[in-house]
């Protein structure tokens, strides 16, 4: 149902301010690249390291216009405004602490969400309901939230792009292309290695920083007292209420490429088993180490295991094994290796490859989709199905046993305990706190 700004602000508990004129996006085929009336207006929500990185990428494109910069840490939004002013040499950008003000602004066409994982789906759904196109970082917090996101995106009919770059990286693109076109023969096994997690200890409560809205930062997650490091990425990443650890973080990169190569009907695996280590009584309470084995419906097996230090990209490796050869990338920024160097020289003429061409980076792809109505590289459903595979692994590592998955029903087969772990947590009533 379409809603106006007043009804949205009333529903989400934000005071109504000045009125705005609604902009119109005119495709680039009609106007020149820098025509002001054509520019896509953006609001940025979440401006830590990843959010600032997304902002820098979007600033490369002349067909977008920054309107508002928003973060629960107001100082981060102020710093982002300074970055935009210095980069573009212009002023007049808004700074907000409450993202609901951004969603309620009809002069904003689209939002870029770069928060902790627990906000990804709830905030995306609010933005879609407010009539915004959405660019959002990965992943989901749980399987049920992914299902909710897919339904909301379909209902809204807006452009949705997930902030993952791997499908636009030539090395990963070529690995999938060679696997799908038979350069390895029949694909039999995939090996994925990811960095391990960080074991953070409990911390004492400290005063909330003056520039932080602690209620908004936590949002629908369970309430906790503020501690010194809780909102830092290498801390919240390993707290169950906000994220599910390295498996969902690094896994969304390499397992995405792996799942594309597996190319199985139903997309997700049909079986998972494995073990993992979850600390007890620590701030970190997600699987920090794991060794998982997945099986897809077409018989492809995928091992996903942890190794090395947290966030060490050298530990992020990927290997495809077929009955006629293998290819590998032994490090996230490494080159490619193969059982036969000739595999790495295979090229396909236009129309020969059964795998699509290399798409632009996700930020550019998002703007193109808004302008042309094309499908994005990473849709809401793509994020849901990729995250589902990884959440299956978290659940297997938690329960330490084998489970079977029904892709049509999107649930584990005859396993009430595992299916309970697919559910979204009861949201905290944060709107009036």
Cβ(224)–Cβ(218) under 8 Å? yes
Q: What angle do CA 177, 178, 181 make, to 5 degrees?
A: 85
Domains of the chain, earliest start first: 5-166 (3.40.50.720), 167-201+217-356+380-420 (3.30.360.10)
Strand-pair partners of 160: 134
CA-based nearest residue to 39, from 373, 375, 371: 371
Token pair of 5, please?
């700004």
Q: Are strands 271-277 and 110-113 parallel, antiparallel or unpaired?
A: unpaired
pLDDT of residue 261: 98
What is the rounded CA–CA span in Å between residue 97 and residue 69? 9
Secondary structure of residue 227 in the 3-state scheme:
strand
- Sheet containing 317-322: order of strands: 336-338, 326-330, 317-322, 187-195, 301-307, 289-295, 271-277, 403-406, 411-412
DSSP codes of every residue in 158-217:
--EEEE--GGG-HHHHHHHHHHHTTBTBSEEEEEEEEE----PPP--B-PPPTTB-HHHH
pLDDT of residue 16: 36
CA-based nearest residue to 393, from 142, 118, 115: 142
What is the rounded CA–CA span in Å between residue 186 and residue 320? 10
Residue 404: HSE in the Cβ half-sphere, 13 Å Cα cutoff: 5
What is the rounded CA–CA span in Å between residue 167 and residue 362? 9
What is the rounded CA–CA span in Å between residue 77 and residue 331? 34
Instruction: Give the pLDDT confidence of 5-51 residue by residue, as tens digits.
Output: 445 555 555 543 333 333 334 444 344 445 556 899 999 999 999 99
pLDDT of residue 395: 98
Strand-pair partners of 113: 45, 136
Token pair of 301, please?
């097996």
Token pair of 97, please?
């602490």
- What is the b/e burial string over 253-286, where b = at least 16 CB atoms within 10 angstroms of the residue's CB? bbbbbbbbbbbbeebbbbbbbbbbebbeeebbbb
The segments of the chain whose pLDDT lies below 50 read: 1-6, 15-33
Q: Which residues contact 148 (CB under 8 A, 6 or more apart)?
A: 121, 125, 424
């Amino acid at each position: 149902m379409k809603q106006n700004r007043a009804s949205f602000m009333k529903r989400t508990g934000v005071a109504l301010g000045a009125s705005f004129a609604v902009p119109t996006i005119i495709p680039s085929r009609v106007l020149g690249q820098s025509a002001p009336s054509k520019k896509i207006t953006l609001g940025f929500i979440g401006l830590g390291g990843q959010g600032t990185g997304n902002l820098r990428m979007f600033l490369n494109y002349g067909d977008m216009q920054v309107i508002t910069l928003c973060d629960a840490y107001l100082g981060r939004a102020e710093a982002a405004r300074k970055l935009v002013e210095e980069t573009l040499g212009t002023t007049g950008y808004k700074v907000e602490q409450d993202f609901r003000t951004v969603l309620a602004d009809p002069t904003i066409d689209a939002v870029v969400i770069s928060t902790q994982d627990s906000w990804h789906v709830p905030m995306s759904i609010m933005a879609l309901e407010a009539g915004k196109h959405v660019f959002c970082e990965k992943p989901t917090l749980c399987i049920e939230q992914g299902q909710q996101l897919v339904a909301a995106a379909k209902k809204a009919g807006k452009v949705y792009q997930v902030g993952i770059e791997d499908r636009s990286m030539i090395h990963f693109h070529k690995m999938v292309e060679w696997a799908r076109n038979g350069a390895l023969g029949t694909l039999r096994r995939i090996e994925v290695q990811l960095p391990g997690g960080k074991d953070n200890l409990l911390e004492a409560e400290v005063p909330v920083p003056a520039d932080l809205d602690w209620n908004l930062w936590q949002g629908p997650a369970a309430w906790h007292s503020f501690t010194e490091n809780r909102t830092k990425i290498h801390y919240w990443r390993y707290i169950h209420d906000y994220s599910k650890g390295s498996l969902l973080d690094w896994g969304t990169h390499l397992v995405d490429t792996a799942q594309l190569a597996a190319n199985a009907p139903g997309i997700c695996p049909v079986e998972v088993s494995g073990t993992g280590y979850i600390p007890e009584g620590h701030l970190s309470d997600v699987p920090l180490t794991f060794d998982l084995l997945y099986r897809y419906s077409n018989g492809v097996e995928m091992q996903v295991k942890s190794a090395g230090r947290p966030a060490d990209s050298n530990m992020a490796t990927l290997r495809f094994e077929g009955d006629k050869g293998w290819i590998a990338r032994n490090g996230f920024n490494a080159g490619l290796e193969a059982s036969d160097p000739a595999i790495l020289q295979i090229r396909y003429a236009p129309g020969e490859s059964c795998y699509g061409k290399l798409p632009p980076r996700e930020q550019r792809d998002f703007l193109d989709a808004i302008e042309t109505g094309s499908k994005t590289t990473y849709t809401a459903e793509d994020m849901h199905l990729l995250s589902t595979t990884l959440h299956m692994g978290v659940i297997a590592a938690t329960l330490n046993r084998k489970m079977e998955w029904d892709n049509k029903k999107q649930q584990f087969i005859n396993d009430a305990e595992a299916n309970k772990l697919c559910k979204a947590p009861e949201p905290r009533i944060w709107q009036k706190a």
